[in-house]
Structure formats: C-alpha cells, structure tokens
Homo-oligomer: A and B are copies of this chain.
Amino acid sequence: MAIRIFITGGTFDKEYNMLNGELYFKDTHLQELLEKGRNTVPVEIRTLMMVDSLEMTDEDRELIAYQCEQSEEDQIVITHGTDTMSVTAQLLSERIKNKTIVLTGAMIPIKFGSSDGFFNLGSAIAFAQSLPHGVYVAMNGQYFKASNVRKNRQTGVFEALQKI
C-alpha cells in the first residue's frame, strides 16, 4: 500500500523571486526530492494548497482533515509550514484515529543549500511506515505526538510540552 503525501506549502517549498527579492510559492519540490532520495516507497502525491502556515484558515484545515479522512492509504505524510504545524496536528488528532499521519516541513527553504527539508522528509516517510496509528509531528530528527508538541519560537526547534 502506498503512502499518501499531501502538500500544503510552508517554508519547505518557498522560492526566491529575483525580481522583487521576496519569497513565494511556485511548484512543490516533493517529486524531485523523492527522486534525489531514490525513494522506492510507492507514493500518491496531492497538492492541497500552497500557503504560509500563518495564513492557513479554518477552511484550509477542514480541507486537510477531510482529505485525510477520505484517503484510502492509512499512512499519510503532510508537508506544512512550521509556525502552525502543531495546530493542524492537534485538529487532525481529534478527528482521525485509524491512520498514521506525520506532519513535517522545513525551517529553511529546500532551494537554500542549508535546508533541513530533505532530512525531515526522509524521517517523515520512515515514521509514517513505522509508528502506530496516531498523528505526529516529525521535525529535528524526532517525532512528537500531536497532543504534546510546540514550536519554540526563540530557538526554532520543536519540543515536547511535557517530558514523557
């Protein structure tokens, strides 16, 4: 059975617009990263939206939840902006119980040489195949349960709300 990958945007997929010096979304880099990673796990990729997660609306999250519910695959990876990744994870964990859903993203755009995104994607695809049903955030080499994670805005790393 394939892994379902939903793309929602976030720093991961941002590009540099050389005409105005701003970062923007064009296309996702998911497919080229999977080829570079020489991935052979069957995947079904769908782009749901391309938004900065600070601008993600309730309707956007409703769409993500709906797509996760409807997915035939029970292993799902979602690329997502880091700023509200834990909010979406929390919502999904309340709605979907019978699948393994892993949210991941990047602190630095893939198109920058120093991006963490390729590493995060490798870990997310691994966690989606190996963790029990539930909703998780995969960042910084770790996985966090949706109910127990936040992004530390000072350091830029994800951490558990409480040690377990």
- A interface, CB within 8 angstroms of B: 11, 16, 18-19, 21, 23, 33-34, 36-41, 52, 107-109, 111-116, 118-127, 129-131, 138-143, 153-154, 156-159
Contact A129 B107 (CB under 8 A): no
Nearest chain B CB to A139's CB is how many angstroms away?
8
A123 and B125 in contact, given A113-B111, A113-B112, A113-B113 (Cβ under 8 angstroms): yes
Nearest chain B CB to A154's CB is how many angstroms away?
8
Contact B109 A16 (CB under 8 A): yes
Contacting A38 at CB < 8 Å: which of B36, B112, B157?
A: B157
Copies of this chain present in the complex amount to: 4
Task: State A18–B36 Cα separation when bound (angstroms).
Answer: 12
Q: A21-B23, A38-B119, A118-B119 are in contact. List 10 more A-B contacts (CB 8 A).
A: A16-B112, A37-B120, A38-B140, A39-B140, A40-B157, A112-B113, A118-B118, A121-B122, A123-B123, A126-B143
Task: State A115–B37 Cα separation when bound (angstroms).
Answer: 7
A36 and B119 in contact, given A23-B21, A41-B142 (Cβ under 8 angstroms): yes
Task: State A41–B123 Cα separation when bound (angstroms).
Answer: 12
Contacting A40 at CB < 8 Å: which of B109, B111, B124, B142?
A: B142
A140 and B40 in contact, given A123-B125, A131-B130, A156-B19 (Cβ under 8 angstroms): yes
A138 and B126 in contact, given A11-B21, A19-B153 (Cβ under 8 angstroms): yes
Nearest chain B CB to A7's CB is how many angstroms away?
17
Contact B112 A37 (CB under 8 A): no
